[in-house]
Amino acid sequence: MPEQTSPGINDKARIQWACRRGMLELDIAIMPFFRYEYDTLTDPEKQTFIALLRADDPDLFNWMMGNGEPADADLRNMVQLIRERNQQRGPVAE
C-alpha cells in the first residue's frame, strides 16, 4: 500500500479533511481556524499548519488546551497562532 503523503498547501479539500479530528474540542479549535484564517497564512505557515495536522489527537488536544507544547518551535508558534486567532475571533457556529 502506498505511503500517505501530506496534502500540498493549495489542496484545500485534503487539508480540510485532515482538519477533521476524532474529538469535538479539536474540531472546534481547528476547523474555524482553517476556514477563516488559512488563506491569510504565508506559504511556510501553511506548511507548518499541515505538519501540525500530522500530530496525534491527544497531543494536539493538550497543545490546543494549553497543556504542554510541541518540541518544534514552528509547531509551537502555529499552536499559539491558532489559539490567539480563535480567541480574537470568538466562538463560531459550525
pTM of the predicted structure, to 2 decimals: 0.85
Q: What's the rounded mean pLDDT across residues 11-21?
A: 90
Q: Which positions ≥6 away from 13 have C-beta within 8 Å? A: none
Q: What's the rounded mean pLDDT across residues 54-74?
A: 95
CA distance 56 to 36: 23
CA distance 94 to 5: 28
Confidence of residue 92 (pLDDT cuts 50, 70, 90): low
* Model confidence at 49: pLDDT above 80: yes
Confidence of residue 1 (pLDDT cuts 50, 70, 90): very low
Q: Which positions ≥6 away from 93 have C-beta within 8 Å? A: none
Percent of the chain's residues with pLDDT above 90: 65
Q: Which CATH number fits domain 12-89: 1.10.8.420, 2.40.50.180, 1.10.150.250, 1.20.1740.10?
A: 1.10.150.250
Q: What's the rounded mean pLDDT across residues 18-23?
A: 87
Instruction: Write down the domain spans for the chain.
Output: 12-89
Confidence of residue 91 (pLDDT cuts 50, 70, 90): low
